[in-house]
Amino acid sequence: MEVANVLLSGIVGSTAYGLATADSDVDRLGLFAQPTEKVLGLYPPAQSVVHTNPDVTFHEAGKFVSLALKCNPTITELLWLPEDLYETRTELGDELIAIRKSLLSSGLVRNAYLGYATQQFRRLENRGDGSFSADTRKRTAKHARHLARLVDQGYLLYVEGEYNVRVTDPGFYRDFGDQVAAGDIELAKNKIASVEKVMNVTDSALPERPDYNRAQQWLLDVRKEFW
């Protein structure tokens, strides 16, 4: 898939987390810049370019920063990838990585990560008591792994202001997913509840508000570059 003016791109998803299986696709995410003349014109250009099987998503710089300021977990991880997973890095991309912490805020990190984990739990909850097909158990285990990963990554980001995209103990998440898929739905529910409880009584290393001015300046630099 050809995308012009790519500023930053890399491999995300299960491969990045260290949780890929033999059935996992290699997912890619990136951001690009539309020519500024098009952005300012009467007919706004596409804000995203998406391809499936495998999943490849590129967001235009303005949309990407807007999502980053909301602490969207998928968007945030592109700015914290291990070095070997980046496929395109430009000066403007590196500048965005350099200000990644300024895009975060305590309340939005808490809400975004626990919220995404809760969405995963709803999917698990709707799958019954574990007495389902092998294919459904496989999907359930995947959702459970990512639920636990989101909760742990969100906790670290909230408490320490750091983000480990690649998990330190893949075996824990695989075992967690298998237990939930075998019918222990409460394990997933308790995982979210326990971390939420700790967050409620723990001071965050993150500010209450993101630095909108720094985000704005970066985006203006992009618009100047592609004028």
Interval 63-84: pLDDT, tens: 999 999 999 999 999 999 999 9
- At the top level of CATH, the class of 6-103+211-225 is alpha beta
Instruction: Domain ranges for the chain, please list them.
Output: 6-103+211-225, 106-200
Is 139's pLDDT higher than 90? no
- Find the range with the poorest average confidence among 27-41, 82-96, 114-128, 141-155: 114-128
At residue 167, the pLDDT reads: 95
Mean pLDDT of 141-165: 94
What are the two backbone dihedrals, phi and then psi, of residue 86, each rounded to the nearest 5 degrees? Answer: -75, 135
Q: Give mean pLDDT, residues 109-128.
A: 87
